[in-house]
Structure 1
Amino acid sequence: MTPEHLAAARLLLVPDQVMLRAGPVAGHAILVAEGRFADVGRAADLTARHPDATRVDLPGAVVMPGFIDAHHHLTQSFGKALAFGEPSEIFRRVWVPLEGALDAEMLHLAGKLAALESLRGGFTTVVDAGTRADGGLEPLAEAVTEAGLRCVLGLICNDLGGAARTDDRATILARAEAHLAGWSDNDLIHPSLAISIPEVASDDMLRTVAALCGEAGSIFQTHVNEHLVAVERSLVARGQRPLEHLHAVGALGPQTVIAHGTLVTPHELTLLRDTGTAVAYNPVATQWKGNAVAPATLMHALGIRFGLGTDGTRSDAFRLLDAAEATQRLAFGLETGDFSCGGGWPWLDHATTGGAEAVGLGAVTGEIAVGKAADFLIVDIDVPELVPSRDLVWELTRLGNRDQITAVFVAGRLRLWQGWPVDWDGRALVREVARRAEAAIAAAPIQKIHPSSTEHRARHAGDAS
């Protein structure tokens, strides 16, 4: 098989397995046409119904939904390694300064690099939480569109600081309404509004922005209960924890997605459940810089909607699945004797269908079903790690690897083949980033606490001697 085999207008895919929401099935086929899943069912039936379609047999492969990254920061791609070993709230010392130093050209470059990383990792949709760069969102939207990535694009609406600029209420809301009403000519961009953290917005702004999103059918995003220091600041300033504060001002609801939610009380869990608020569970961010682990297994049991997010750490969906399950096992399963922490399937579900529902795209993407956007992966399962196969969902969760992803489709178009774009030069982008990113980092007033690994080794050697 070559990329040319996958370019037909009506494509009939016949893999060994098709990953449906209920689990993998054999003997099935998928018809892709006009950017959507046009038919799904038994291979013999689809072959008979669609004799005009170009049939592509995929022995040793599973066709599965593309992954949903429920929380990302696309314009932070130049600074990934700056986060290693750093204590919490690095956004104040690293991310805000870095984003603030990006002009429109560098914003585009950073966004396209992040989009390429996401596609390479198996993500067909990312939710961007909004950039603090003072250059508008058009360069970022252009970057992800050129890359072929579906994106929920957040616009930051802070009115008390925490961004490159803080305008008056009327200006912010006019910009927000224009953003929500825009992008109708771009089927890969889904607008969203964001407040960086609740403390950088007035109560009125929190309430109004959440309401605007509810009316528009979009999502409202904010980082909530992520770090101890933020919880303590909220208690001192308002006598309420951040999540309680959002509820008090009327900003929770089905349109709201809180990022992290690692420090949640039983009462706050009931608020999430009863208001229909969704959560972006970011297990790798927890491992790297968190104060606690979000109780995702409990959220799942309580029916709280959530997706899995990278938080811009590493865009590798299979490693995200592993981190999601393993983090729950270490934080909660060990002490209770729970060896399965949900039984394997919740993590794949919340990374695809459940994740799409959590971020407001349940009607658009997230599963292989008739009428949904054809956002999917062709994954090689004829590999030593998955043979003999006994339980494909568990195997993909714990053993799946990015290098097994043969092809990535978004909106029915082949975007990546064996890890690289088919219609633009990904390697040229990587070379350009390598040439130019260091100057952008040097221009930003970044404050790092932790030394590089080489410096740390030298210090350790000096201490030992």
Structure 2
Amino acid sequence: MSEKICVRGGRVLEPDGSSAPYRDLIIDDGTIVDIVSPEESRGVTTQIVNATDRLLIPGLVNAHTHGHGSLGRGMGDRWTLELLLNAGPWLSGKRTMEHKYIAAALNAAEMILKGCTSAYDLYFEFPAPTPEGMGTVAQAYRDVGARVVIAPMLADMSLYEAVPGLMDSLPEPLRRQAGQFALNPFEETAAACQTFLESWTHPADEAKPALAPTIPLHCSDPFLERCRDLARAHGVGLHTHLAESRTQAVSALKRYGRTLTAHLDALGVLGPNFTAAHGIWLDDDDIARLAANGCAVAHNPGSNLRLGTGVAPIRKLLDAGVRVGVGSDGTNSSDNQNMFEAVRLAANVSRVADVDPDRWVSAGEALKMATSEGAAILDLATATGRIEIGARADIVFLDLDNINLVPFNDPVNLLVYSEDATSVKSVMVNGRMVLDNGRFTRFDCRSLVRRAQDAAEELRARTAENRQISAQLERHVAKHCLCLCREPYPVERLICDPVKE
């Protein structure tokens, strides 16, 4: 029988965020079994966790990240999404199993340090996902102590094949060099996915599989249909980058004669297990389709700003009843795994999308996206994203003496607009301390840092040729995509008007 734990002396954020009274938590076998006043817990004789001068909040939930991106921190400036994808063969290529583990562990460690306890990770393994690779990623998260849904990124077309006219616009020998980045036929990748799903052995409440046909344009229709069928057969999620850039939106009209969302709906891909990352270039009909099919959206304001892709119509999505979570995106596209920063941006970026303050995303809405709504998107086999009786004890301990929280006024406003993760002192996952007063309890973080630095240096040498090819392709990709962006599109999600400028 497990020993009960009493977390004593802290202030606990109420589920509605209205206040943070002094409350003690009774935890049994990783589950919160009671929330009592300090007076009521005085007679409790059990293991005590001292939470004096701490604010207890639910562990934040990252609805969209890329663990492989952690080794690409600080690589690139003034990249659009398509230029980031052009850099992919050297940013994320030539990885050994050791590199894959290090990248995932580094991603998980940063999230824990910054108050995030679970994530939906779209992890890239080239040329196709393997049970060994995805299992290694799962083990890395579990070693650090974070929960994860792992969805291998899938495609059967490269960037150069997916964007209409791009391959044909490349001069020789660049066209031939771009051709070497071709992906496996979809039958091979689909078979690899089936093996990955059938061989999964990790506990579903700690590490759960899913599938991520990465960008609809990069997947043939038969491949999308196969992903749809595999996900339904195995009861797992589907997660894709939907309508992220204007280039994608215009390209969809050229290829399909309809929007990306309309095309996925026609293929039967949309459903309650479907999460759309970004969802920027959605029109009203697209939003209605997502709502009617019970889909969710992972809002990634940090990378949307970093890559200049636009401002997602979050208020319209919320009004339509679409569940919205918040993601950090990959460290190679938004620079960090700081969910406090992502939450603040989720609230603030809505201010430039509408002049009516009643239509802005409130602090409470933004925090909900990063806790209970994100947890619902991950759909792990356990109750997370909230502090209440019956929920799992995934708890972040914030230092109430940190300048971010002084004076302690409205708790939700402080968490969304003031907190930057520097108040995080300890983190509990499943009733176990994985970070205790700034020190990891389950693995050697200093060793991981050394291994990550060594891996980055090794990969720079291993990917030098790919980097040179990508550099030669960059201006051609930029020019072609800019021409596409200047074509008319029914909705506008940029502050500027690219058609007129």
Fold agreement, TM-score > 0.5 = yes
Task: Specify the TM-score bucket, using the shorter chain as the normaliser.
Answer: 0.7 to 0.9
Matches within 5 A, 1:4-19: 9-19=3-13
Aligned partners of 1:382, 1:339: CA distance in 2, in Å? 33
Check conservation: 1:28, 1:43, Cα contact below 8 A: yes
Secondary structure, counterpart of 2:211 in structure 1? strand
Check conservation: 1:148, 1:410, Cα contact below 8 A: yes
Question: C-alpha deviations, 1:180-239, integer Å up to 9, x for none?
Answer: 662344642111111011122232332342343345442101111001111222211111
Question: C-alpha deviations, 1:263-299, integer Å up to 9, x for none?
Answer: 1111111111111110110000011003211112332
Residue 20 in 1 paired to residue 14 in 2? yes
Check conservation: 1:159, 1:200, Cα contact below 8 A: yes
Secondary structure, counterpart of 2:427 in structure 1? strand
Check conservation: 1:183, 1:189, Cα contact below 8 A: no
Secondary structure, counterpart of 2:184 in structure 1? coil
Partner of 1:73: 66
Moved more, 247-256 or 205-214: 205-214
Partner of 2:79: 86
Residue 377 in 1 paired to residue 401 in 2? no
Partner of 1:97: 90
Matches within 5 A, 1:88-237: 88-134=81-127, 136-160=133-157, 165-169=183-187, 172-173=190-191, 175-176=193-194, 178-179=196-197, 182-185=200-203, 187-237=205-255
**C-alpha deviation, 1:111, in angstroms:** 1.4
Aligned partners of 1:399, 1:340: CA distance in 2, in Å? 22
Secondary structure, counterpart of 1:62 in structure 2? strand
Secondary structure, counterpart of 2:56 in structure 1? strand
Residue 40 in 1 paired to residue 43 in 2? no
Check conservation: 2:244, 2:281, Cα contact below 8 A: yes
**Correspondent of 1:253 among 271, 274, 285:** 271
Partner of 2:489: none
What amino acid maps onto 2:6 in structure 1? L
Partner of 1:455: none
Matches within 5 A, 1:445-460: 445-446=466-467, 447=470
Mind listing any 5+ residue stretches in structure 1 that lack a counterpart?
1-7, 451-465
Matches within 5 A, 1:196-345: 196-312=214-330, 313=334, 314-329=336-351, 331-333=352-354, 336-338=355-357, 341-345=360-364
Aligned partners of 1:42, 1:169: CA distance in 2, in Å? 59
**C-alpha deviation, 1:179, in angstroms:** 1.6
Q: TM-score, normalised by structure 1?
A: 0.87
Aligned partners of 1:224, 1:79: CA distance in 2, in Å? 23
**C-alpha deviation, 1:107, in angstroms:** 1.1
Aligned residues: 438
Aligned partners of 2:319, 2:189: CA distance in 1, in Å? 42
Moved more, 246-255 or 25-34: 25-34
Secondary structure, counterpart of 1:280 in structure 2? strand
Aligned partners of 1:265, 1:108: CA distance in 2, in Å? 39
- Judged with a 3 Å threshold, the aligned counterparts in structure 2 of structure 1 residues 180 and 342 are, in CA distance, closer, same or farther, namely farther
Aligned partners of 1:176, 1:97: CA distance in 2, in Å? 28
**C-alpha deviation, 1:352, in angstroms:** 0.5
Check conservation: 2:10, 2:24, Cα contact below 8 A: no
**C-alpha deviation, 1:437, in angstroms:** 0.6
Moved more, 315-324 or 247-256: 315-324
**Correspondent of 1:29 among 24, 28, 37:** 24
Secondary structure, counterpart of 2:258 in structure 1? coil
Partner of 1:408: 427
Aligned partners of 1:171, 1:430: CA distance in 2, in Å? 33
Question: C-alpha deviations, 1:390-427, integer Å up to 9, x for none?
Answer: 21001110001212111011222211134331232111
What amino acid maps onto 2:66 in structure 1? H
Moved more, 101-110 or 56-65: 56-65
Secondary structure, counterpart of 1:129 in structure 2? strand
Secondary structure, counterpart of 1:89 in structure 2? helix
**C-alpha deviation, 1:33, in angstroms:** 2.4
Secondary structure, counterpart of 1:20 in structure 2? coil
Aligned partners of 1:340, 1:47: CA distance in 2, in Å? 46
Aligned partners of 2:317, 2:460: CA distance in 1, in Å? 38
**C-alpha deviation, 1:359, in angstroms:** 2.6
Question: C-alpha deviations, 1:142-192, integer Å up to 9, x for none?
Answer: 211211111100123434457885245276246336426623446421111
Matches within 5 A, 1:388-427: 388-427=407-446
Aligned partners of 2:98, 2:323: CA distance in 1, in Å? 37
Check conservation: 1:280, 1:307, Cα contact below 8 A: yes
Aligned partners of 2:455, 2:233: CA distance in 1, in Å? 41
- Judged with a 3 Å threshold, the aligned counterparts in structure 2 of structure 1 residues 443 and 369 are, in CA distance, closer, same or farther, namely same
Check conservation: 1:119, 1:408, Cα contact below 8 A: yes
- Judged with a 3 Å threshold, the aligned counterparts in structure 2 of structure 1 residues 211 and 374 are, in CA distance, closer, same or farther, namely farther
**C-alpha deviation, 1:31, in angstroms:** 1.6
